[in-house]
Structure 1
C-alpha cells in the first residue's frame, strides 16, 4: 500500500472517489439518492457596464442547496442586492426540487443578514478561523 498526498488531484481520480462513495452509499440509500449528481450553479449581480459586483456560488444535492459563498463589492452593499441574490438562489433551488438551503458565515460577516431572511443557526464552530466563530445556518424552502 502506498499513501500519496497531492495538491493537484487529477479530475479522473477525483471521480473514482465520488463513484466509490456512491457505490458504498447505494447499499444504504435508494439508487436515485446515492447517485444523485451535484447541481452546481451561480447567481451574479452585474453593474450597468456588465462587471460582476457580487454573487453566490452554490451546490445542491440530497434535497439541500448549499450556499458556498456570497460576496458583494462595497459599492453594491446596502441596496438589497444581497437579498435579491438569495431570493434568486432559493427560487432556483426550489424549482429544482430542493427543500432546504444551508450556509455558513463568520461572526464578522452576515449572520444578521441571513437571520433577517429566515435562516436559523443550527451550529457554531468556535475558533474557526482562529479568534472567530463560524455560524451554520439553515432555511426550509
Structure 2
C-alpha cells in the first residue's frame, strides 16, 4: 500500500477525500448539519470617509460561529470598534442558528480582547509558531 505526498492533488482525488469524511460524519451523526449549509460572511467597519478600518471573516456551521480572522487598523484599536464587530458577528450568528463561538488567536494577537468579550480559554498550544503560542477560545452565545 503506497502512501505519498501530493502537492498538486488531482481534483477528483481531493473530492473523493472530502466526500469520504462527509459520508462518514453523516453516518455517525444522522442529523448533522450538511456542509453545504456553511454560511461564510464578513463584518466590515469603515471610517467617515468610507475607508475600511477593520473587520472580521467568519463562518457559521455545526451550530458554531467560527471567527477566522479579525483585524483592526492601528487608529481603530481601543475605540470600541472591535467590540462592535464581534457583537455584530455574534448577533448574525445567533440569527443563523449558532449557539457557540470559536476562535484561534496567537500570543501576540488578541487573547485579552476575546476574554474581555466573554470568550473562555479552552486550550493553548505552546510552540506554535516557534517561540509563541496559539490560544483557542470559545463562548456560548446568548440565544433569543
Q: TM-score range by the shorter chain?
A: 0.7 to 0.9
The equivalences for 1:119-130 within 5 A come to 119-130=119-130
Query: Hey, what's the Cα distance between the residues in 1 that align with 2:95 and 2:125?
Result: 31
Query: Hey, what's the Cα distance between the residues in 1 that align with 2:63 and 2:108?
Result: 29
Q: Normalized against structure 1, the TM-score is what? A: 0.87
Give the conservation status (yes or no) of the 8 Å contact 2:33–2:61. no
Q: Work out whether 1:22 is the aligned partner of 2:8.
A: no
Q: Normalized against structure 2, the TM-score is what? A: 0.85
Query: How many residue pairs align between the two structures?
Result: 139
Query: Hey, what's the Cα distance between the residues in 2 that align with 1:61 and 1:9?
Result: 27
Query: Residue in 2 aligned with 1:67?
Result: 67
CA deviations 1:35-60 (Å, max 9, x no partner) are 24221111011122222111101112
Q: Work out whether 1:6 is the aligned partner of 2:7.
A: yes
Cα RMSD (Å) of the superposition? Answer: 2.1
Shift of 1:108: 1.2
Instruction: Summarize the Cα distance change of 1:140–1:20 in structure 2 as closer, same or farther, 3 Å threshold.
Output: same
Query: Hey, what's the Cα distance between the residues in 2 that align with 1:46 and 1:8?
Result: 40
SS at match of 2:139: strand
CA deviations 1:65-119 (Å, max 9, x no partner) are 1101100011111110000000000001100111000101111111111111110
Give the conservation status (yes or no) of the 8 Å contact 1:22–1:34. no
Query: Residue in 2 aligned with 1:89?
Result: 89
SS at match of 1:70: strand
SS at match of 1:45: strand
SS at match of 1:27: helix
Unaligned runs of 5+ in 2: none
